[in-house]
Amino acid sequence: MSGEEEENAAELKIGDEFLKAKCLMNCEVALILEHKYEQLQQMSEDPMNQVSQVFEKSLQYVKRFSRYKNPDAVRQVREILSRYQLAEFELCVLGNLCPETVEEAIAMVPSIKTRGRAHDDEAIEKMLNDLSLIKKFE
Amino acid sequence: MFFHIVLERNMQLHPRHFGRDLRDKLVAKLMKDVEGTCSGRHGFVVAITGIESVGKGLIRDGTGFVTFPVKYQCVVFRPFKGEISEAVVTMVNKMGFFAEAGPVQIFVSNHLIPDDMEFQSGDIPNYTTSDGSVKIQKDSEVRLKIIGTRVDATEIFCIGTIKDDFLGVISDPGATS
C-alpha cells in the first residue's frame, strides 16, 4: 500500500505501469468507443443493452468533453504535442484541457516546470499557440 | 485519465465450447467477464480493443475445464490523486456537490468550494457567488482537482477540490437557457 500513498499526478507519480502505458486523450477515447459502438450496432438491434454502464458513461463523458471532433485534428494534436518531450500523461492532460495561457498550463500540469526539464515559458507558449491553431482550423 | 494497456487473465472454458470457434467463444466470454469491472490497481475497464495472445490451454484435473492465459488490450479509466479533470455535476446539496468524470464519482465538499460561493436551496439547489456571476448546479461542467481516492472492491470514489487557480465552472446550463 505504500506505493498508493505516494501517488501524485502533479509530480507525475502515477506508478511505473501507467507511466509507461499509452495514455489516451478524451477525443481519442471517443473515436475508439464510437467505433466499437457502431460494431455492436451492426450485430444487434439494441446495442445499449449490450454495453456496460461503465462503457455508456465513458462514451457520454468523452463525447461531451472532446475538444477535437475530427479524427485528423486528433492525430495532429498528438503529433504536435509529442514534439515537446512530454510524458504521455502530461500530453493528454494538455490535450484534454487545452489551457490558454502559460500560467494555466503550469497550474494544470505542474510537472512540466520541475527541475531538469527544458521547458521555459516561451516553449510552453509556442506549444499552446500550436494547439489553438489546430482548433481554429478544424 | 484514460489509458490503453495490456492486461492478462486466465480464462476457464467449458469443454462444450471446444471446436472451430473456440477462440471466438473465449473472446466473447472475456468481454462479458471484464468489461465494466473495476479494480483498484487498473481502474475501470471500459472496453477491450484487441487480443494480444492466447496461451496454451491447461486441462484442469477432474473437471475437464481448460484454463487459457489470455493477454488483451483494453481502454481503462484510472483517476489519480493530483490529476486535474473536467466533470459534470450530478447532485448539489448543502454538504457539497457530486460530479462524474466518466465512470467515476467525485465528491467536492463545501469546504473545498471557494469561500465566496454560498449554498442556495430551492427547486434547483446550487452554489452561487454573492454577485451571482458564477453558479454551480446540476449539469454544470466543472474543472476540478482530485485530491483523494478511495478504492472499493468494485468501485473507485474520489474527493475533489475547486478551491485553486484555474479550477471551477467551465459552463453552466442556466446561462444559456
The domains of chain A are located at 8-138
The shortest CB-CB distance from B166 to any of A36, A96, A104 is to A104
Three cell numbers, residue A102: 502559460
Instruction: Give B-chain residues touching A36 at CB under 8 angstroms.
Output: 47, 49
Which residues of B fall below an 8 Å CB-CB distance to A?
1-5, 35-38, 44-47, 49, 75, 77-78, 80-86, 88, 100-103, 141, 143, 146, 149, 164-166
Mean pLDDT of the region A74-102: 92
DSSP label at B126? E
Delimit the CATH 3.30.1490.120 region(s) of chain B.
Answer: 2-77
CATH superfamily of B2-77: RNA polymerase Rpb7-like, N-terminal domain (3.30.1490.120)
Instruction: With beta carbons less than 8 A apart as the criterion, state whether A50 and B121 touch.
Output: no
Phi, psi angles (nearest 5°) of residue A98: 45, 60
The shortest CB-CB distance from A14 to any of B45, B80, B101 is to B80
pLDDT in tens, B146-177: 999 998 888 899 999 999 999 999 976 655 44
Instruction: Give A-chain residues touching B164 at CB under 8 angstroms.
Output: 107
The shortest CB-CB distance from A10 to any of B37, B45, B82 is to B82
pLDDT in tens, B93-142: 999 999 999 999 999 999 999 999 999 999 999 999 999 899 999 999 99
Three cell numbers, residue B52: 494480444
Instruction: With beta carbons less than 8 A apart as the criterion, state whether A111 and A90 touch.
Output: yes
**What's the fold here for domain A8-138?**
Growth Hormone; Chain: A; (1.20.1250)
Is the Cβ pair A10, B166 closer than 8 Å? no
* Region of poorest pLDDT, from A20-29, A109-118, B22-31: A109-118
Delimit the CATH 2.40.50.140 region(s) of chain B.
Answer: 84-176
Three cell numbers, residue A28: 481519442
The shortest CB-CB distance from A52 to any of B35, B80, B82 is to B35
pLDDT at A53 over 70: yes
Instruction: Give A-chain residues touching B84 at CB under 8 angstroms.
Output: 9, 93, 97, 108-109
User: Is some CB atom of chain B closer than 8 A to the CB atom of A66?
Assistant: no
Is the Cβ pair A18, B100 closer than 8 Å? no
Q: Cα–Cα distance between A87 and B75 in angstroms, integer? A: 18
Q: Does domain B84-176 have CATH number 1.10.1060.10?
A: no
